[in-house]
Amino acid sequence: MTDSQPRLSFEFFPPKTPEGKQKLIHVRDQLNSFAPDFFSVTYGAGGSTRDNTKGIVTNFTSAGIATAPHLSFGGDDEETILELLQDYKAAGVDRIVALRGDMPSGVGGAYQLVYANELVAFIRKHFGDYFHLEVAAYPEIHPQAKSYSDDIRYLKGKFDAGANSGITQYFFNPDAYFYFMEQCHSAGIDQPIYPGIMPIINYRNLTRFSDTCGAEIPRWLRKALENFGDDEASLKSFGVDLVSELCEVLLENDAPGLHFYTMNQTEPTAQIVSNLGLIPTE
Residues classed as catalytic: 11
Say how far residue 121 (Cα) sits from the centre of its chain. 20
| HEC string for 50-98 | HHHHHHHHHHHHHCCCCEEEEECCCCCCHHHHHHHHHHHHHCCCCEEEE
Length of the chain measured in residues = 282
Amino acid occupying residue 207: T
Neighbouring-strand partners of residue 67? 39
- Inter-residue contact 35 to 6 (CB < 8 Å): no
Nearest to 198 by CA among 149, 139, 129, 133: 139
**Count of CB atoms within 10 A of residue 213's CB?**
14
Nearest to 98 by CA among 66, 79, 124, 64: 124
3-state SS class at 229? coil
3-state SS class at 134? strand
How do beta strands 193-197 and 132-137 pair?
Answer: unpaired
Please name the residue ranges forming H helices in 128-218. 148-160, 174-186, 203-213
Pairwise CA distance, residues 128 & 198, whole Å = 33
